[in-house]
Amino acid sequence: MSSSLNMNTSGSGAGCQMALVDLREGSTGPITVMVCRKWDVTSVNGRYMSTDYVVSDKKV
């Protein structure tokens, strides 16, 4: 999965898309990540359990 990073380089609201792997020392700008929530039904109590995780393009 390749996550995109929206970098505002002009200051006027127009930005460029940048993959997380393109970040280098000295890169500046806001970093936006997407935090997701997955809902699972647990077999122990039959209720929903939420699990938060961060979407990344790093290979595991």
Quote the number of domains for the chain.
Answer: 1
> For residue 9, is it within any domain?
yes
> For residue 30, is it within any domain?
yes
Q: How confident is the model at residue 39 (pLDDT cuts 50, 70, 90)?
A: low
User: If you average pLDDT over every residue of the chain, what do you get?
Assistant: 61
> For residue 45, is it within any domain?
yes
Q: Please check the confidence at residue 30 and state whether its pLDDT lies above 60.
A: yes
Q: How confident is the model at residue 3 (pLDDT cuts 50, 70, 90)?
A: very low
> For residue 60, is it within any domain?
no
> For residue 59, is it within any domain?
no
> For residue 25, is it within any domain?
yes
What mean pLDDT do residues 45-60 have? Answer: 62
> What is the C-alpha to C-alpha distance for residues 20 and 46, in angstroms, rounded to an integer?
38
Give the closest residue to 9 by CA, choosing from 32, 33, 28. 28
Q: Please check the confidence at residue 40 and state whether its pLDDT lies above 70.
A: no
> For residue 49, is it within any domain?
yes
Q: Please check the confidence at residue 55 and state whether its pLDDT lies above 70.
A: no
> For residue 20, is it within any domain?
yes
User: In this structure, are residues 6 and 32 in contact, taking their beta carbons and an 8 Å threshold?
Assistant: yes
